[in-house]
Amino acid sequence: MNMNFNDAKAHYRTILGGAQNSDRLDKVLIFPPYPYLLPLHEIAQTEFVQLGSQNVASEASGAYTGEVSSSMIKSLGINYTLIGHSERRAFFGEDAEVLKKKADMALENELTPIFCCGESLDQRNSNQQEEIIGNQLNESLFHLQESQMKQIIIAYEPVWAIGTGETASSQQAEDMHAFIRNLISERYGNGIAESMSILYGGSCNAANAKELFGMENVDGGLIGGASLKADEFLQMIALLDE
């Protein structure tokens, strides 16, 4: 929830302008607030950058004032949505059951969900992180069919690292990503597990991204604060070309 519309448009144009020579723009997704989706999408179409929504309703349609459905997002020509960001879980009471419905609804409408999971600092300090992540995946995603699961993108975002300036070490990220891939492999087989992208999020910036993205099981990043600084975000996009 940053920037008014004019600032967001200018910021977006700066990013597109700075990244236009990148061969990997198809690997960059931007998740603006709902009201900016369509106008930015109209700019984006000429630049081949894809957009997604930051959230989506758990219900299909009807009397849910204030909600935005997957089919509405899809009807704008937008193909991605975040699901279960830790702020949605913490501040808006989104539990595993709601997130399961959101994942189902997104897939039914051919939106690709970026499903966020992560443990709190207390959970990390008591070494419960694997149990927590395992439960989050199990309760909201592992009911999916194989053909659905392989459309999901996972974002591991330790809550203690989001917006705090404290990043997980590259080894902590790698260990958790390997754990997640292994859980997917046990449930869905190695082929699907290897084909899926697992992104790291939480104080990821231009200074630490190269090392994080260099880890075997870290396939990219979900960038918050650093994406609000055009120069820094452009440096991170440039890493994709290396």
Contact 49, 40 (CB under 8 A): no
Distance in angstroms (rounded) separating the CA atoms of residues 234 and 230: 6
- Minimum distance from CB of 156 to ligand PGA (Å)? 11
Residues numbered 41 to 80 that lie near ligand PGA (CB under 6 A) are none
Stretch that binds ligand PGA, among 64-72, 131-139, 195-203, 209-217 (CB under 6 A): 195-203
Kindly state whether residue 19 participates in binding ligand PGA, applying the rule CB under 6 A: no
Within 10 angstroms of residue 113's Cβ, the number of other Cβ atoms is 29
- Sign of the CA dihedral 229, 231, 236, 238? positive
Distance in angstroms (rounded) separating the CA atoms of residues 212 and 173: 7
Query: Which residue's C-beta sits nearest to ligand PGA?
Result: 224
The site map against ligand PGA for 201-240 (x = CB under 6 A) is xxxx-----------------xxxxx--------------
Residues numbered 131 to 190 that lie near ligand PGA (CB under 6 A) are 157, 162-163
- Minimum distance from CB of 16 to ligand PGA (Å)? 20
Total residues at the site for ligand PGA (CB under 6 A)?
12
Q: Rg of the Cα trace of the chain? A: 17
Tokens of 142: 């592992």
Whether 85 is catalytic is: yes
Kindly state whether residue 121 participates in binding ligand PGA, applying the rule CB under 6 A: no
Contact 180, 156 (CB under 8 A): yes
E strand or H helix at 50: strand 50-53
Q: Which residues bind ligand PGA (CB under 6 A)?
A: 157, 162-163, 201-204, 222-226
| Residues designated as active site | 85, 157
